[in-house]
């Protein structure tokens, strides 16, 4: 029930707190592109904000549920709410349970990356500074009641991400040995595709290229991964939710 607790109950608590504080000028709710559901083929048209929500997994369903709460507070109590639905964020400082820092840290430790399924699932990766710029635009230019997609143009398969990281780290000659395939997650949609035209009309555009963003990110982890302490639990193929750092892995 972790997703329900944080995404639905947590959002409801914040909405109630904001409703009781009459000085709130903006309530920006950060949702996800996953609420639209899976892009079933690579020909699926990019989804706009008006698209029906069809979440395919429990996490996405709780995010969609939270959105309905936000909409209700905007309509019933005139709370100045704005909803964003974004692509996958990457960049420095991200905890290593996420794909790019996880693969980077596995490789830096001389280990093979652990790809779920056959690695063909794609995601659109957006550099963290571009996301920050998007929220700056939304904060100052979006109107209460609006829903805005935040998406980039870097749709790439997990397998290609792994190969690119291997190349950046100089292990290209060992690529075959550094890629392993593990059982897929219970729910792992093929792709998510969103149209960010509305946000572009407000003046936002993606500025960081995939190549530069990935290299910048890798360099950061080469220097500063130690800041996270013991991350062994995050680097296993299927991390367990709720396990204290250092308690889920036994060194042999």
Query: How far apart (Å, rounded) are the C-alpha atoms in residues 223 and 17?
Result: 40
CB contact set of 131 (below 8 Å; sequence gap of 6+): 86, 89, 150
Q: Is 167 an active-site residue?
A: no
Sign (positive/negative) of CA torsion 91, 92, 93, 94? positive
Choosing from 16, 38, 40, 59, the catalytic residue is: 59
Shortest CA distance to 1 belongs to which of 242, 248, 244, 247? Answer: 242
Distance CA 163, CA 66 (A): 36
Range list of H helices, 21-117 = 58-77, 99-108
Known active-site residue 59: yes
Active-site annotation holder among 16, 34, 136, 176: 34
* Catalytic member of 16, 33, 176, 207: 33
CA distance 190 to 31: 19
Catalytic residues: 33-34, 59
């Amino acid at each position: 029930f972790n997703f329900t607790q944080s995404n639905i109950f947590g959002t409801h608590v914040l909405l109630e707190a904001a409703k009781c504080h009459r000085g709130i000028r903006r309530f920006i709710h950060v949702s996800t592109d996953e609420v639209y559901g899976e892009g079933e083929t690579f020909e699926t048209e990019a989804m706009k904000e008006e698209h029906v929500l069809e979440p395919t997994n429990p996490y996405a369903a709780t995010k969609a549920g939270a959105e309905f709460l936000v909409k209700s507070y905007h309509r019933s109590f005139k709370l100045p709410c704005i909803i964003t639905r974004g692509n996958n964020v990457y960049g420095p400082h991200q905890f290593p349970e996420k794909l790019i820092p996880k693969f980077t840290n596995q490789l830096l430790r001389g280990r093979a990356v652990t790809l779920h399924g056959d690695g063909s699932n794609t995601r659109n990766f957006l550099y963290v500074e571009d996301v920050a710029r998007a929220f700056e635009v939304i904060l100052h230019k979006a109107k209460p009641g609006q829903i805005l997609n935040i998406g980039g143009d870097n749709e790439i398969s997990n397998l290609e991400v792994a190969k690119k990281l291997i190349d950046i780290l100089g292990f290209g000659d060992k690529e075959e040995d550094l890629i392993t395939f593990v059982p897929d997650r219970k729910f792992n949609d093929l792709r998510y595709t969103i149209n960010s035209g509305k946000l572009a009309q407000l003046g936002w555009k993606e500025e960081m290229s995939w190549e530069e963003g990935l290299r910048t990110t890798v360099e950061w982890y080469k220097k500063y991964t130690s800041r996270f302490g013991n991350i062994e639990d995050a680097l296993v193929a299927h991390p367990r939710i709720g396990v204290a750092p250092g308690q889920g892995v036994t060194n042999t």
